[in-house]
Chains A and B, each alone.
Chain A
Amino acid sequence: MLPPPLSDAPLIPKGNWFEAHALGRSFDHHWGRTIRASEATLFAALTLNFNPLHFNREAAAADGHPDAPLPSTLVFATVQGLSVEDLSEVGGAFLGIDDMAFERPVYPEDTLTARSEVIGLRDSRSNPEMGIVTWLTEGFNQRGERVVSFKRTNLVPRAPRTQDTAAQGVPA
């Protein structure tokens, strides 16, 4: 048992239930993220991404790059990561990603931001407590140029019926 006054502290909820995902609604995701060179190198090394383009600046420069471009998987994971609180933090299985296009290279010290739009909604036949949402998620660099886009589909839990959805932090 939590000691008072902690036992009286209201939970500040995070995330959005299925009901928040109206078709066409867009989310400008929070925070943004500047990717540092050491992080890109660490990510490539940890995931065993053995293309020198991603961790040998000289090899990247010989191919005309100003610095070693990030692994596309880091660009994807960062943009998806930024989208999680708005889209999928409340839980529900990942169903798939399609049509992920890497449109231009991302370099160390670039700053990524993310935006998503609801492009598909349906009921889950097997689980009435869930809905299925598809989003178009886009990642941009600091110049507003799109660097990646993809369609992600997840199961998303519906708001518990016994609770007031407004109190659950579902934005209008």
Chain B
Amino acid sequence: MAPDAASIPALTGPRGYFEDFAPGALMRHARGKTIEPLENVLITNMTLNTAAVHFDKALMKDTPSGRRVVYGGVTASLVVGLSSQDCSEKALADLEITGLRLKSPVYHGDTIYAFSEVLETAEADRADAGVVSFRHWGVNQDDVVVCEMVRRCLIRRRLGAEA
């Protein structure tokens, strides 16, 4: 039988429902991704971010790092992405991000890995979903934390998905 193009249970993994998240659980997400101009310059320019420190190589030549700095919106978006299959594959919506900090600069060629902790789970204002708070960390290839945030997602319940 062909997969159902509209059914989240058929399209996604067996875990990741609201019921699967226990406060205190730590996750090391499997994949990393190397940030290149493909990500940094493309997304900086796509979002009309005019800060040339992100896209003018010559401008940065005489600065202490000598390199373009990756736009924090790219790093944060990648950390959310790297954690997504384990944390928000079944999310109905992102509700909030807070405590977003960039702890160390990211440059082209750096590889980012993500870790998450389930901070809290709570009822939502709809019966088929609940709210999960995660802390996400982005770490580079030298095990230096480059990004931290707390994110609240509305995540469907297994019960709702099977009903």
Contacts and interface: CB of A to CB of B under 8 A. Distances in A.
A165 B80 CA distance: 40
Interface string B70-91: 0111101110111011001111
B65 interface: no
Contacts of B31: 48
Q: How large is the interface on B (under 10, 10 to 19, 20 to 34, 35 or more residues)?
A: 35 or more
Given A59-B11, A100-B98, A102-B96, A77 B89 contact: no
Contact of B100 (A52, A78, A100, A101): A100
The prevalent SS among residues of B at the interface is mixed
Contacts of A61: 6
Interface of B: 5-8, 11-12, 31, 33, 38-39, 42-44, 46-53, 71-74, 76-78, 80-82, 84-85, 88-102
Interface of A: 14, 31, 33, 39, 43-44, 46-53, 56, 58-59, 61-63, 69, 71-74, 76-78, 80-82, 84-85, 88-89, 91, 94-102, 105, 150
6 contacts: A43-B43, A81-B50, A84-B49, A85-B50, A91-B53, A99-B96
